[in-house]
Amino acid sequence: MDIIGLGQFYEDLPVGKSFRTIGRTITQTDIINFVTTTGMTEVLFVNREFQSKESDIKGEVVPGALVFTFMEGLLTQSTMQHTGFAFLEMDLKVMGPTVGGDTLFCEVEVIESRRSKSRPTRGLVRTRNKVFNQKGEQVMEYTPLRMVKARTDGTGEAA
């Protein structure tokens, strides 16, 4: 019987492949839970008086780390179950603010895909992940390199 919800294999992720996640709205509860759990209780995130009088960003400011982790959650649910083995590195750039109530989604493009030399049953896949809000404004971009499961060992043998 087929199992639904499994992730994509190395062979499913050639350079140039693109896809988009579903959207996720960031709520006040999300912000408070995240900053409390992580200890990021900076006034910018938890003090409405400071936010309204001092911040250049109007609204409930969302930490960039929350944006990143929520996008990773959407990607884990849809592309990495049982096939994602390691998050190896990334570059990350915050390009604009995110505030409570924004709905975010991620556009993903595979920009590097190669079989691991030391582990032939694994592939190394780098993507360019562009995060947008509901207005079409890009708020973040990051380029993770991941180790993912391959169906074969590169010689045609099952992994």
- pLDDT, tens digit (0-9, with 9 covering 90-100), for 29-78: 999 999 999 999 999 999 989 999 999 998 999 999 999 999 999 999 88
Sign of the C-alpha dihedral computed for residues 94, 95, 97 and 98 taken in this order: negative
The pLDDT, as a whole number, for residue 13 is 95
The pLDDT, as a whole number, for residue 58 is 87
The pLDDT, as a whole number, for residue 69 is 97
Is residue 62 packed enough to be buried (19+ CB in 10 Å), middle (13-18) or exposed (0-12)? buried
Please report which confidence band the pLDDT of residue 157 belongs to, taking 50, 70 and 90 as the band edges.
confident
CA atoms of 26 and 108, how far apart (whole Å) = 20
| Mean pLDDT to the nearest integer, 98-121 | 96
The pLDDT, as a whole number, for residue 62 is 97
The pLDDT, as a whole number, for residue 144 is 98
Amino acid sitting at position 46: V
Sign of the C-alpha dihedral computed for residues 83, 85, 91 and 95 taken in this order: positive
| Mean pLDDT to the nearest integer, 2-21 | 90
Please report which confidence band the pLDDT of residue 158 belongs to, taking 50, 70 and 90 as the band edges.
confident
Q: What is the pLDDT of residues 80-92, one digit of tens each?
A: 999 999 999 999 9
The pLDDT, as a whole number, for residue 14 is 96
Reference 90, options 103, 71, 74, 104; nearest CA is 71
Please report which confidence band the pLDDT of residue 94 belongs to, taking 50, 70 and 90 as the band edges.
very high
Instruction: Domains for the chain: give ranges and CATH numbers.
Output: 10-149 (3.10.129.10)
